Structure 1
Amino acid sequence: MAALSLRHLTPNLSSSPKPLFHPSHLSKLSIPRRNIRSSTSIMASAAKKVLVPVANGTEPLEAVVTIDVLRRAGADVMVASVEKQLCIDAAHGVKILADSLISDCERSDFDLISLPGGMPGSTTLRDCKTLESIVRKQVAEGRPYAAICAAPAVALGSWGLLKGLKATCYPSFMEQLSSSASAVESRVQKDGKVVTSRGPGTTMEYAVSLVEMLYGKEKADDVSGPMVLRSNHGDEYSFAELNPIQWTCGDSPKILVPIANGSEEMEAVIIIDVLRRAKAEVVVASVGEKLEIVASRNVKLVADVLLDEVIGNSFDLIVLPGGLGGAQAFTESDKLVNLLKKQRESNKLYGAICASPALVLEPHGLIKGKKATAFPAMCNKLSDPSEAENRVVVDGNLVTSRGPGTTMEFALVIVEKFFGRDKALELAKAMVFVH
């Protein structure tokens, strides 16, 4: 395998040392912001400030992928709750802990504001007068703004901020959008200072386009390369399968998704989101001592339970997200490793993505005799990397995948193995992942 330069590896190393001081820390200090800016003007000017408002019912995949990708580019992203509390009950039972309340953002200027979709989240964003005021100011001052899924029609369109502009949105909201914008069916549409996009399945393309708007094409390429994004957006997905077996379950598969500090948030959230859309019973378990975890790009997620609470339960599938810090926590958790070993010994299903196949499954003998893939820079840790160039590999009761940009395919393959390809493609089309 060709050696990767450090430049290409670094963006995906979720536990790489954090700087001792970063402009995003300013909001946590009691010292007035204006007094600090003069002494850190170079640092402050380097980090573009981005606002991502969230509400109960926000589509978590759209919010978290956007935040994750922009933070990979070095943006100082403020996740602001438009509710009365920081903890957001996003769609599909995903709990996100915001950085601040929207009222804390009224006096700030942003280089970009990006609205995630989801219902009723988009309606709540629309009805928040503080947010409307912030976005109107953004538009009046000629700074970039963006929205995805239902939000272009429900929020930006309702505020009259798309007049005379080309915009797109989730297919079922296109008629509503056409009354307030020039509606087009692009996966991502840029017109002047506004970027819009169609839905969960276009979020990575959308997020990368926001990086390009803020930082330029070269930076967007630097960020997207290590994520292992698809080049054929909208096409049907494919995967490699060896030693095929029938994946069986009861009425609905019971799936355990462990998370830990340093887990890759977009991988975790995409897996949870997609599998719950397919009506699987997904249990999100924190491997740490608290339900709240701080993921690799500092997105705060709240698990359903602690791992200890479900250690004696039976699961049809255990699936590990990646992220370097999270994978380290997984491999050091005797309880989780024993759970995985019992899963394998019982010929039950298990899987992992990104760093986790190489750092969790391989060292504990859980890939022995099987083909697998992993994050490209870690495939040399696999005892048999012969199938590692595939984006998703299924070998009997094991499923593995490469990285953030392959997570949608990874989750859809799991749906396909449980419910059939027709069901998986129906879901992929509903999410606008495939045409």
Structure 2
Amino acid sequence: MMKTFTPLFQVPASKTPPAISATFRFSTFAVYGAIQNCKTQTKPTLKRRSAKPTKNVPPIPILTPTTPPSSSVPQKKVLVPIGFGTEEMEAVIMIDVLRRAGANVTVASVEEQLEVEASGGTRLVADAFISASGETFDLVALPTTCHPAFMDKLPTFWAVNSNLQVSGELTTSRGPALCKSVAKEICESMLLNIADDNSRKEEFDEVSWYLGHAPEVLIPVANGSEEIEVVTIVDILRRAKANVTIASVEKSLQILASSGTKIIADKTISDAAGSVYDLIVLPGGTIGSERLHKSKILKTLLKEQQSAGRMFGAICSSPAILHKQGLLKDKRATAHPSVINKLNSAVNTARVVIDGKLITGKGLATATDFALAIVSKLFGHARARSVAEGLVFEYPR
């Protein structure tokens, strides 16, 4: 635990709390304590990184970010800078967990535009420009890590060979798979718990998923989808060299996820419906799953997927969608504890359940296990282990 770290819900000793920072790559020393009283600057002119045309995305008024718990204690202010090439898992997991803990998180673009393309191709939209943040922040969290491959960039007297390191008010870690641990260390509480006695995976009616070509994967999203699940699944599958399409069931490409992260899809579901996919995976989110369920196009795609004998799956609350549509008949599955009792043949002893060409997962904390299980089925254990190592994630032997 971080004894010297200011908890998010503790009343500060003074009116102006000291700024602290958490970071996750060798840029640690450049940022630590650097952003304290940012002066307001003129908003830069928007520019695109390339000449490739993109659609103009209108703002979404449908949802608002998650409302923090009411409290007489002032909210802690957190700044999360993002830029081109930011690791999407590191950014989104940190943002989501901190917002769930009640922090007022500002996602700030260091580029000349709010829209930022992350390292795995996921497009995120910042809340503001870094130059326009004229506030003092209690925490500055850089979504970059000191991955083992970059340890030689650190001064030897500062380098520590551990996955998570706390030094006074500075917290650092080594990779995307450790973001939840970092957030837990910062927040001192996290809503991503999973029973330790649950096995990682159970499989029934085992069949091969091998395709002989790069898999085409469809990830439908909606306003209210769980951003951690969306980004984790997409990022890991793209790292494994699957062709992933994020499709919005909303009228616009931009969706507002459950904790307020703005994500831009690759296509609308109507445009995506013109292709055939080897695998369709539904992310969770209470509101998001309901909006996915209302999509007639997605319902048709899922029924065609099952009748054609192709793979499909869901995580968190979305297995309930498959159940409502009759796609879980004679299938064993798992889901979030809030909906698992709605399933006929529920398995509550595993984080991930595979039955034939169906895969289901419990929720946020199982998203990495869920995505790696898909990689293992499509590409084999060697590919899954390789991807896990890049995330600094312990792949089961």
Q: Give the alignment's TM-score, normalised by structure 1.
A: 0.73
Q: Secondary structure of the residue that 1:312 maps to in structure 2?
A: coil
Asked if 1 retains the 8 angstrom alpha-carbon contact of 2:222 and 2:250, the reply is yes
Q: Secondary structure of the residue that 1:247 maps to in structure 2?
A: coil
Q: Secondary structure of the residue that 2:89 maps to in structure 1?
A: helix
Quickly say closer, same or farther: Cα 1:114–1:366, change in 2 above 3 A: same
Which residue is 1:146 aligned to?
Answer: none
Verify: 1:77 aligned to 2:105, yes or no.
yes
Verify: 1:206 aligned to 2:182, yes or no.
yes
Which residue is 1:373 aligned to?
Answer: 334
Quickly say closer, same or farther: Cα 1:20–1:428, change in 2 above 3 A: closer
Q: Deviations over 1:325-371 (max 9, x none)?
A: 1100111111101110110111100000000002x111111111100
Which residue is 1:143 aligned to?
Answer: none
Which residue is 1:104 aligned to?
Answer: 132
Instruction: Report the AA paired with residue 183 of structure 2.
Output: A
Which residue is 2:193 aligned to?
Answer: 228
Q: Following TM superposition, by how much is the alpha carbon of 1:313 offset from its aligned partner in structure 2, in angstroms?
A: 1.0
Verify: 1:349 aligned to 2:314, yes or no.
no
Q: Following TM superposition, by how much is the alpha carbon of 1:186 offset from its aligned partner in structure 2, in angstroms?
A: 1.9
Q: Secondary structure of the residue that 2:331 maps to in structure 1?
A: coil
Instruction: Report the AA paired with residue 364 of structure 2.
Output: P
Instruction: Report the AA paired with residue 367 of structure 1.
Output: L
Quick one: distance in 2 between partners of 1:194 and 1:380? Answer: 43
Which residue is 1:415 aligned to?
Answer: 375
Verify: 1:257 aligned to 2:257, yes or no.
no
Quick one: distance in 2 between partners of 1:170 and 1:332? Answer: 41
Verify: 1:176 aligned to 2:153, yes or no.
yes
User: Which structure ranks higher in relative contact order (CA pairs < 8 Å, sequence separation ≥ 6)?
Assistant: 2
Which residue is 1:318 aligned to?
Answer: 280
Verify: 1:303 aligned to 2:265, yes or no.
yes
Verify: 1:190 aligned to 2:151, yes or no.
no
Q: Following TM superposition, by how much is the alpha carbon of 1:250 offset from its aligned partner in structure 2, in angstroms?
A: 4.1
Q: Following TM superposition, by how much is the alpha carbon of 1:388 offset from its aligned partner in structure 2, in angstroms?
A: 2.5
Verify: 1:93 aligned to 2:121, yes or no.
yes
Q: Deviations over 1:309-333 (max 9, x none)?
A: 0212100000011001110011111
Verify: 1:47 aligned to 2:71, yes or no.
no
Out of 96, 100, 104, the residue aligned to residue 68 of structure 1 is 96
**Cα root mean square deviation, aligned:** 2.1
Q: Secondary structure of the residue that 1:425 maps to in structure 2?
A: helix
Instruction: Report the AA paired with residue 193 of structure 2.
Output: V
Identity, in percent, stands at 45
Quick one: distance in 1 between partners of 2:125 and 2:251? Answer: 17
Quick one: distance in 2 between partners of 1:49 and 1:347? Answer: 49
Out of 387, 405, 423, the residue aligned to residue 365 of structure 2 is 405
Instruction: Extract unaligned runs of 5+ from structure 2.
Output: 1-62
Which residue is 2:42 aligned to?
Answer: none
Q: Give the alignment's TM-score, normalised by structure 2.
A: 0.80
Asked if 1 retains the 8 angstrom alpha-carbon contact of 2:65 and 2:260, the reply is no
Moved over 6 A (4+): 17-23
Quick one: distance in 1 between partners of 2:159 and 2:226? Answer: 34
Q: Following TM superposition, by how much is the alpha carbon of 1:397 offset from its aligned partner in structure 2, in angstroms?
A: 0.5
Which residue is 1:155 aligned to?
Answer: none
Q: Following TM superposition, by how much is the alpha carbon of 1:19 offset from its aligned partner in structure 2, in angstroms?
A: 9.2
Quick one: distance in 2 between partners of 1:373 and 1:238? Answer: 12
Instruction: Report the AA paired with residue 147 of structure 2.
Output: Y
Quick one: distance in 2 between partners of 1:231 and 1:176? Answer: 36
Which residue is 1:327 aligned to?
Answer: 289
Q: Secondary structure of the residue that 1:239 maps to in structure 2?
A: strand
Quick one: distance in 2 between partners of 1:255 and 1:357? Answer: 17
Verify: 1:116 aligned to 2:143, yes or no.
yes
- The number of equivalent residue pairs is 332
Quickly say closer, same or farther: Cα 1:265–1:111, change in 2 above 3 A: same
Q: Deviations over 1:58-89 (max 9, x none)?
A: 00000000000000101100000000110001
Which residue is 2:248 aligned to?
Answer: 286
Q: Secondary structure of the residue that 1:384 maps to in structure 2?
A: coil
Which residue is 1:4 aligned to?
Answer: none
Asked if 2 retains the 8 angstrom alpha-carbon contact of 1:228 and 1:406, the reply is no
